[in-house]
Structure 1
Amino acid sequence: MSELIGPELVHVGVDARSRDDLFAMMAGTLGECGRTRPSFLQGLVEREKTFPTGIPINGGVAIPHTDAEHVISDAISIATLSSPVGFREMAGTDDTEIPVDVVIMLALGGSGQHLTVLQQVIKAIQDADFMASLRASTSPDEIAALASGKLGLGKS
């Protein structure tokens, strides 16, 4: 069993020029770690076009994810950004983008688990102290431990 959120999947202080650059970096790491198929990145990009994932809460967070067919082994990747990147708002009615500086990318294979983990993540990001701790940390190990603890997740 592997950790759902390991420090190897955490990116701290990322200087991303765009959402696509950020997706490529995070999906690349998930692929290199054997968690996702080569189709994962394209799946993310396509899904984000139709179902945007930006949430204007506690400073702007995004929770990008895609279909289970692109996943080999469940994982969550987290990135804190040095400068916000624009994401369209989840359940938004137009193309207005919100600034996001924390991205929690889900790579989940089981459809039942997908909804459960998404709900846990949405609950967690509503905690201002938790989000402040993520943003303040400069350690992938610390961010992985904070997120695993907050989400109640350990081994997958």
Structure 2
Amino acid sequence: MMFFNKEIIKFNFEGHSKEQVLSHLSEKFIENDLVTQDFYESIISRELSFPTGLWINDTGIAIPHTDSEKVKQAQIGFMSLKQPVTFKEMANKDNEIEVSLIFMLALKQSDQQLSMLQKLVNLFQNESLVKQLKECTSLIEFKSIMKNAGIE
């Protein structure tokens, strides 16, 4: 589980805003020395220009990420939220989406980023896996879901 080996994974997090949840996840990346100190600011500014909210299978999902220069070591963080927070929609930034699942990507190569985005979208299109992610409360269960989706 290369992309999850630092286990930046939170279940049923109580966040009150997009900024708060992204800050919390970013801090975990920084604490593990996976990204540069300006990773959070870079994630937020990218969200303003290129939002990452998706509405798939009746679920709001966000995949915040930023430039590979901010990444020291590849990692993916995951967070499920107790109450959804508002993100802008990827396809139309005038639309808002209530997001309850977040996958934060810190990837080094752009081809790695593209293939991971494709794998994640495939995962999101699988209704039963999305349901499992929303209900998941353990690391073992989470890693099993990811493995089933071909994401390690």
TM over 0.5: yes
Asked if the contact 2:6/2:75 (under 8 Å) is kept, the reply is: no
Q: Which residue of 1 aligns with 2:13?
A: 14
Displacement after TM superposition at 1:57 (Å): 0.8
* Cα distance change, pair 12–6 in 1 and its aligned pair in 2 (3 A): farther
Distance in 1 between residues matched to 2:108 and 2:149, nearest whole Å: 18
Q: Which residue of 2 aligns with 1:68?
A: 68
Number of residue pairs aligned between Structure 1 and Structure 2: 151
Q: Which residue of 2 aligns with 1:130?
A: 129
Q: Which residue of 2 aligns with 1:52?
A: 51
C-alpha offsets along residues 2-36 of structure 1, whole Å, 9 cap, x if unaligned? 72113621110001010000011001111111211
Q: Which residue of 1 aligns with 2:142?
A: 143
- SS of alignment partner, residue 25 of structure 1: helix
Distance in 1 between residues matched to 2:71 and 2:100, nearest whole Å: 25
Asked if the contact 1:124/1:151 (under 8 Å) is kept, the reply is: yes
Distance in 2 between residues matched to 1:66 and 1:151, nearest whole Å: 23
Distance in 2 between residues matched to 1:133 and 1:93, nearest whole Å: 28
Distance in 2 between residues matched to 1:137 and 1:7, nearest whole Å: 18
C-alpha offsets along residues 30-65 of structure 1, whole Å, 9 cap, x if unaligned? 111121111110110000000000001121111111
Asked if the contact 2:78/2:104 (under 8 Å) is kept, the reply is: yes
Q: What TM-score, normalized by structure 1, do the two folds share?
A: 0.91
Identity, % of aligned positions: 32
Displacement after TM superposition at 1:123 (Å): 1.1
Q: What TM-score, normalized by structure 2, do the two folds share?
A: 0.93
5+ residue gaps, structure 1, are none
Amino acid at match of 2:111: G
Q: Give the CA RMSD over aligned residues.
A: 1.4
5+ residue gaps, structure 2, are none
Asked if the contact 2:30/2:37 (under 8 Å) is kept, the reply is: yes
Distance in 2 between residues matched to 1:146 and 1:3, nearest whole Å: 15
- SS of alignment partner, residue 11 of structure 1: strand
Higher relative contact order (CA 8 A, sep 6+): 1
Pair 1:102-2:101 in alignment: yes
